[in-house]
Amino acid sequence: MQLALEIDLSAASLQGQVFNQIYGLIVSGRLRPGTRLPGSRALSEQLGVSRNTIILAYEALTAEGYLESREGAGTYVSTALPDNSLSVVDRSIQTAHTKPVHLCVPAVDDATRYIFPNEIVFDFALESTDPACFPRNVWRRLTNWRMQSSKFNLTYSGTPKGLRELRETLAGYLGASHGISCSPDQIVIVTGVQQALNVAAHLFVRAGTTVAVEAPGCSATADLFRAYGAKIAPVPVDQSGIVVEHVPQSGASVAFVTPARQYPMGVMLSASRREALLDWANQTDSHIVEVDFDTEIRYQGSPPLPLKSLDTHGRVVHVGSFAASIGPGLRVGYMILPPHLVNPAVHAASLLDHGFPCTGVPWLEQAVLNDFIETGAFEKHLRKIRRTYMARRDCLVAALQKHVGSVQTNPVHCGTHLVWELPPDFPSAVKLQTRMLKQQIGVYTLRDWNIGDADYLENCDRYLLLGFAALPEPAIEEGISRLAKAL
């Protein structure tokens, strides 16, 4: 390891310069206790001074208690520094008059996040997955096959659009399963939904652009578009999805929607409103960004057709990922764009994720995901998690009925959480959440930090959100039993 030292060879007292600079690194916290320093020979070569200069500086720092020598192991920063070093601050970052920093991104109030008083034993977390369901054996086999291939090249830099064979496979898969007719050249591989939304913001949002978002909805989405200068227009959601008649009629706007399963209320956008939203985009020269939440995790019936499959005027950008179906750690998503927006989107993605000369999602993950879909392993995996999650959904509903009585929940045709409308004689969702935390049970409300514009929903404090994907059935039963006892 080299040290961040700059020695003026023309100045006097080279030993003093070395002493003072190492002392400064230690007391400022840049060199932490227990850190091994370079040997005297290596440091003398780095600084261009004699080895004796380094040895004398090390000995002086050791005598002061800042360094310690370990026989046969080298010189280390002392684990018991002198008391006077504990009060020293790094003055290099202080100014006499500190000016406030004006951020483009809204600050997050940590007080609105969860502070769990105890370890949560039964966590009905939203948008969760069960790591035990990950197809590790198949994934390992496909990874090994790729790595043993004569064409294997882990250092391949990739392209901003993404691996060609994965885009070809996705075009075929999405055509059959989602009804989206597109060419591989209309698909751009991204690291997930968040990067896709940043690309969309680059394409459509300027200072003052109106962006309609679902209310309630994902708070991070509104914050993201707001950071690009957008004027956020919350639009109410009811049992048929976003209320299109309340979408602003201003031209060149953007609508962000989750039509397959609205987050967090779990409703599906009706066919009539899909047509109405497309008409709105055409009439106002606007665009729609639709995020496909959990279409693959559907328990009954056929999935609804995405807006992209109905779009004949190039108004819709379709965004999907494998976070729910495979796992969020995979970090692979995709965008399907109208042809005229592909090149601008690729340029925007390059700006967001470009480490010269590499770009885009890592090659190996894309290649293995391609093989996972192409070999039919993905469909087999989907059948498995559908059975698993459906059993857990049914267990949750049955446990509520058993321990609480008649409950009113939203139909869970797809997805991994349900919305429970609390009875009138129950405490509010927030009070119930606080009470459950004391019982080591994690439940969620529309007032949580990751959900925005809850007040647009009537009686928003009467809804409790319960995820079921990550909890095995015995844990669901026990968690709801404890919840009922606490009531």
Domains of the chain: 14-85 (1.10.10.10), 122-130+379-485 (3.90.1150.10), 156-376 (3.40.640.10)
- Ranges of residues in the chain with a pLDDT under 70 are 83-118, 154-158, 354-359
Distance separating alpha carbons of residues 82 and 86, to the nearest angstrom: 7
**What single-letter amino acid sits at 344?**
P
pLDDT for 93 equals 40
pTM above 0.85, yes or no: no
pLDDT for 95 equals 43
CB-side neighbour CA atoms (13 Å) of 178: 26
What element of type H or E holds 43? helix 40-47
Pair 449, 108: CB distance under 8 Å: yes
**What single-letter amino acid sits at 331?**
R
Please give the structure tokens belonging to residue 272.
């009539």
Q: Which of 159, 208, 73, 146 is nearest to 349 (CA)?
A: 159
Distance separating alpha carbons of residues 486 and 482, to the nearest angstrom: 6
**What single-letter amino acid sits at 325?**
S
Q: Quickly tell me which residue has 């969760």 as its tokens.
A: 128
Distance separating alpha carbons of residues 303 and 413, to the nearest angstrom: 9
pLDDT for 73 equals 86
**Strand ranges, E, within 302-371:** 316-321, 333-336, 354-355, 358-359
Give the CA angle between residues 224, 225, 227 to the nearest 5°.
70
The CB density around residue 388, as the number of other CB atoms within 10 Å, is 16
Distance separating alpha carbons of residues 412 and 391, to the nearest angstrom: 12
Distance separating alpha carbons of residues 268 and 305, to the nearest angstrom: 11
**What single-letter amino acid sits at 349?**
A
Taking each helix axis from N to C terminus, what angle separates 473-486 and 377-403, rounded to the nearest 10 degrees? 30
Q: Which of 317, 313, 204, 311 is nearest to 252 (CA)?
A: 204
Please give the structure tokens belonging to residue 430.
């927030």
Pairing between β-strand 463-467 and β-strand 417-421 as defined by DSSP bridges: antiparallel
Residue 439 DSSP one-character state: T
**What single-letter amino acid sits at 194?**
Q
Give the CA angle between residues 110, 111, 114 to the nearest 5°.
85
Pair 291, 478: CB distance under 8 Å: no
